[in-house]
Amino acid sequence: MSTPVLPIVVGTRSELLAAASTVEAFRAVDSPSSPLVPRLLCTGQEATELDQTFESLGIEPDVALDLKAPHVADAALGARLLQAMEGTLRHQNPAAVLAVGSSATAWATGVAAYFKRIPLIHLGAGDFAPESERPWPEWLHRHELARLAHLHLCRDEVCARAIEDGAAGSLAHRATTIRVVGEGADEILARSLASPPDDDDPTLAGLRPGAPRVLVFIRRREHHANALRPLCQALEILSDEFAEHEFIVVHSLQSHICDALVALVPKRPNVRAISPLPHPAFAREVARARLVATDSSGLAREAALLGRPVVTIGSYSTTESLQTLFRERAIPNRTCDMGIDPIREAVTQLLAGADPPSAAGSIGSVPRAGEESVEAILCWWRKSGSRE
């Protein structure tokens, strides 16, 4: 009898970073002793960025759906992914399926698993953000996944309590299991910082040696085209007010963000728009930054672990878990709207503060999130009984 299959589904760069150590830990388990066979499945929601991240991490997907997502409406993207995941799960008939994070890929995986009566494991569970006045897909996705999951793999106790307290409710007919396993992306960050540095990326050539750097990273689908104009206008003012700083704007490779930023970023000698760097090089840029401004909660967490002050753009970019990390590590931080004055004020306040420590070379003790996740999954599987 063949060993049951466990698809591990990713669609975005952040999901791959979160899941990579779990995939590696699963693949390291001797096949005869493992009751589940992992299959890394990539939907290609962020195709170009995923390709770069796969290469940086040195791993490959077992299945690639190649669902490249141009700038389409959220409903259309969700429908496309849901249809693809339903067909994939029907074909594979897995024993369980693991969704990562809170993107449209994770949501589609959870809903398709529910329709097919396949147990759902959610890696990154309980990382809730406050409800926003504007539609925010991940808010909906996270709450739906919390209701659908049989096994919740949480980053920390804050996330676990959010699930226990019923922040999203649950399907009453089914018992769920909650485990704290750590954050897989932290493990990848520690590894990237420990890797031998390559030569500086040529896109950073010409930066003034020793000049303090402000790293700006924008990736959210909501921030595209004219929605980026306030950021770029704020950068125009800030680059004059802080002329001694270098402003490095790292943009998503998604065309609706990339094209707008290239067109709108101010033409200043101390402002540079670049494509994403390979993860080890990017991690080192975060570590040496004077300040990080981003709409990515994942990058905000990495910056906090490295002791960098953080401006989170958009209240939806912060979570209770992230705010707890800021407090525990005494990280100067501000959350602001995507507006000229809010961004300028937040950046100015943090740059006026004390300089952070010199570039961090590590995040301290190296987490074992991948191994912890695999142990939790196998323990849950054995206790739940095989689903042949």
Q: What is the CATH number of the domain that holds 16?
A: 3.40.50.2000
pLDDT for residue 94 is more than 80: yes
Write down the mean pLDDT value for the chain.
86
pLDDT for residue 163 is more than 80: yes
pLDDT band (50, 70, 90) for residue 385: low
353: how many CB neighbours lie within 10 A of its CB? Answer: 10
Give the rounded percent of residues in the chain with a pLDDT score beyond 90. Answer: 55
Joined tokens for residue 216? 């700006």
pLDDT for residue 316 is more than 70: yes
> Nearest CA to 219 among 248, 261, 252?
252
274: how many CB neighbours lie within 10 A of its CB? Answer: 15
- CA 360 and chain centroid, separation: 21
Residue 217 forms part of a structural domain:
yes
Asked if residue 292 and residue 145 are part of one domain, the reply reads no
Asked if residue 137 and residue 97 are part of one domain, the reply reads yes
Evaluate whether 221 touches 295 at the Cβ level (below 8 Å): no
Residue 361 forms part of a structural domain:
no
Residue 360 forms part of a structural domain:
no
Asked if residue 344 and residue 315 are part of one domain, the reply reads yes
Evaluate whether 191 touches 370 at the Cβ level (below 8 Å): no
Q: Which domain holds residue 38?
A: 5-183+367-384
Evaluate whether 186 touches 372 at the Cβ level (below 8 Å): no
Asked if residue 277 and residue 166 are part of one domain, the reply reads no
pLDDT for residue 247 is more than 70: yes
Give me the pLDDT at residue 30, please: 66
- The number of CA neighbours under 13 Å toward the Cβ of 101 is 23
Asked if residue 281 and residue 174 are part of one domain, the reply reads no
Residue 127 forms part of a structural domain:
yes
**CA dihedral angle for residue 274, residue 279, residue 281, residue 283, rounded to 10 degrees:** 100
Asked if residue 373 and residue 313 are part of one domain, the reply reads no
Residues 6+ apart with CB under 8 A from 323: none
Residue 204 forms part of a structural domain:
yes
Asked if residue 119 and residue 214 are part of one domain, the reply reads no
Give me the pLDDT at residue 51, please: 84
Asked if residue 377 and residue 336 are part of one domain, the reply reads no
Q: Which residue has the higher pLDDT, 362 or 125?
A: 125
Give me the pLDDT at residue 9, please: 97
Give me the pLDDT at residue 48, please: 73
Give me the pLDDT at residue 68, please: 67
Report the distance separating Cα 70 and Cα 104, nearest Å.
Answer: 14
Residue 40 forms part of a structural domain:
yes
Asked if residue 231 and residue 330 are part of one domain, the reply reads yes
Exposed, middle or buried by CB within 10 Å (0-12, 13-18, 19+), for 306?
buried
- Secondary structure in 3-state letters for the chain: CCCCEEEEEECCHHHHHHHHHHHHHHHHCCHHHCCCEEEEEECCCCHHHHHHHHHHHCCCCCEECCCCCCCCCHHHHHHHHHHHHHHHHHHHCCCCEEEECCCHHHHHHHHHHHHCCCCEEEEEECCCCCCCCCCCHHHHHHHHHHHHCCEEEECCHHHHHHHHCCCCCCCCCCCCEEEECCCHHHHHHHHHHHCCCCCCCHHHCCCCCCCCEEEEEECCCCCCHHHHHHHHHHHHHHHHHCCCCEEEEEECCCHHHHHHHHHHCCCCCCEEEECCCCHHHHHHHHHHCCEEEECCHHHHHHHHHCCCCEEEECHHHCCHHHHHHHHHCCCCEEEECCCHHHHHHHHHHHHCCCCCCCCCCCCCCCCCHHHHHHHHHHHHHHHHCCCC
Joined tokens for residue 129? 């953000």
Give me the pLDDT at residue 173, please: 43
Asked if residue 144 and residue 70 are part of one domain, the reply reads yes
Evaluate whether 372 touches 333 at the Cβ level (below 8 Å): no
Q: Which residue has the higher pLDDT, 386 or 143?
A: 143
Asked if residue 289 and residue 167 are part of one domain, the reply reads no
> End-to-end CA distance of the chain, in Å?
10
- CA 115 and chain centroid, separation: 26
Give me the pLDDT at residue 6, please: 95
| Domains in the chain, number | 2
Interval 311-325 mean pLDDT:
88
Residue 191 forms part of a structural domain:
no
Asked if residue 9 and residue 143 are part of one domain, the reply reads yes
pLDDT band (50, 70, 90) for residue 172: very low
Residue 357 forms part of a structural domain:
no
> Nearest CA to 295 among 310, 275, 273?
310
User: In this structure, which amino acid lies at residue 75?
Assistant: A
Report the distance separating Cα 210 and Cα 213, nearest Å.
Answer: 9
Rounded to 5 degrees, what angle do the CA atoms 105, 157, 20 make? Answer: 40
> Nearest CA to 369 among 100, 10, 177, 61?
100
